[in-house]
């Protein structure tokens, strides 16, 4: 293929997982480059973070749906990612379900990180779900994206104990630390040509 793997990063929030991947690239421990960062939120922190890293950043309006993109918008997103020659689409806190327009355009080449040990606690605020369920441990999962919510094949997991006195905030912070270590490891496997 020649050259490092080009990533397209989609995010809706602060962008801490994007930062972890960008830091791994800068440190020389991940042979990849971020071609573009795209958000469905116009003032998302991930866009500002991308600009600080010198990465093209763009807002793509999602359309009228709350949990997914309009089909035309998804087709536009796929076209933008293709134009940047993206080899792997990395979801970093992207809060929309992807449908056939994007999943079909990048088959097996879209990954997501989720803050639980899937298949337990898919969906929003998974750390809070684990805490309220009285679990002894939770963690994070990197998985391929399919057409369901957090249902794609699992690529890697990291476990995080739930400690006495944990709040949703303290637990979430420890899960995020685990995410920041795990996500670059999985992307590294794609960059090395290993099909995880």
Q: What is the CATH number of domain 5-191?
A: 3.40.50.170
d(CA 10, CA 8): 7
Residues carrying an active site annotation: 114
Mean pLDDT score across all residues of the chain: 95
Tokens of 123: 């969906």
What pLDDT sits at residue 1?
Answer: 46
d(CA 33, CA 21): 9
Q: Is 94 exposed, middle or buried (0-12, 13-18, 19+ CB in 10 A)?
A: buried
Backbone φ and ψ for 35, nearest 5 degrees, come out as: -80, -40
Find the mean pLDDT for residues 163-183: 97
Sorted by sequence, the CB contacts under 8 Å of residue 68 that are 6+ apart come out as: 62, 74, 96, 97, 98, 99
Per-domain boundaries in the chain: 5-191
pLDDT per position as a tens digit, 31-87 = 999 999 999 999 999 999 999 999 999 999 887 887 888 889 999 999 999 999 999
Q: Is 95 exposed, middle or buried (0-12, 13-18, 19+ CB in 10 A)?
A: middle
């Amino acid at each position: 293929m020649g050259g490092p793997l080009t990533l397209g990063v989609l995010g809706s929030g602060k962008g801490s997982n994007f930062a972890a991947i960008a830091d791994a690239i800068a440190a020389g421990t991940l042979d990849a480059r971020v071609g573009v960062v795209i958000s469905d939120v116009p003032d998302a922190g991930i866009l500002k973070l991308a600009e600080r890293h010198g990465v093209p950043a763009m807002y793509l309006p999602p359309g009228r749906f709350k949990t997914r993109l309009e089909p035309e918008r998804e087709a536009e997103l796929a076209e933008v990612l293709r134009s940047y020659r993206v080899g792997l689409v990395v979801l970093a806190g992207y809060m929309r379900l992807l449908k056939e327009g994007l999943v079909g355009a990048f088959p097996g080449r879209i990954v997501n990180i989720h803050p639980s040990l899937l298949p337990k606690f898919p969906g929003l605020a998974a750390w809070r779900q684990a805490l309220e369920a009285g679990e002894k441990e939770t963690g994070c999962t990197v998985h391929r994206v399919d057409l369901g919510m957090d249902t794609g094949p699992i690529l890697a997991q990291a476990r995080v104990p739930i400690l006495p006195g944990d709040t949703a905030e303290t637990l979430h912070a420890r899960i995020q630390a685990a995410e920041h270590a795990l996500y670059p490891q999985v992307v590294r496997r794609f960059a090395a040509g290993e099909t995880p």
